[in-house]
Amino acid sequence: GAVVSQHPSRVICKSGTSVKIECRSLDFQATTMFWYRQFPKQSLMLMATSNEGSKATYEQGVEKDKFLINHASLTLSTLTVTSAHPEDSSFYICSARDIGRIMNTEAFFGQGTRLTVV
């Protein structure tokens, strides 16, 4: 089946630093990738939709200058948490759609990144 690789799986950083999270589709091309945030025991919250070659679309309430998204190729999207603060500590997960499939409503998820800001 299709595989989405997310890296790193865990990261601890100091307050004020920036952290980059990568999301790669390993065996398919993805024009659209999604970035989610999940707080403990809560459901996934969509942060932004990342489109290859164009600007990301952010959900209401998500700061685009704080959560920078780049989707430079059909297989890679990155989320950079800039000037991280302890309240940014969370679980971040990406998903991607396979444009090559007829039923391209299928979603494939990365393994997630647990970010801890100290």
Partner 1 sequence: KNEVEQSPQNLTAQEGEFITINCSYSVGISALHWLQQHPGGGIVSLFMLSSGKKKHGRLIATINIQEKHSSLHITASHPRDSAVYICAVLKKSSGDKLTFGTGTRLAVRP
Site for partner 1, rule CB under 8 A: 32, 34, 38, 42-44, 46, 49, 91, 93, 95, 97, 103, 105-112, 114
Residue 30 to residues 1, 5, 26, 107: CA-CA distances in angstroms?
Answer: 14, 13, 10, 10
Least separation in angstroms between CB 20 and partner 1: 19
Q: What residues contact residue 41 under an 8 Å CB cut-off, 6+ apart?
A: none
Least separation in angstroms between CB 112 and partner 1: 4
Least separation in angstroms between CB 16 and partner 1: 25
Between 16 and 51, CB nearer to partner 1: 51
Q: Which DSSP letter does residue 86 get? A: G
User: Minimal CA–CA distance to 26: which of 6, 54, 53, 9?
Assistant: 6
Between 49 and 70, CB nearer to partner 1: 49
Least separation in angstroms between CB 57 and partner 1: 10
Between 42 and 83, CB nearer to partner 1: 42
Count other Cβ atoms within 10 Å, centred on residue 19. Answer: 18
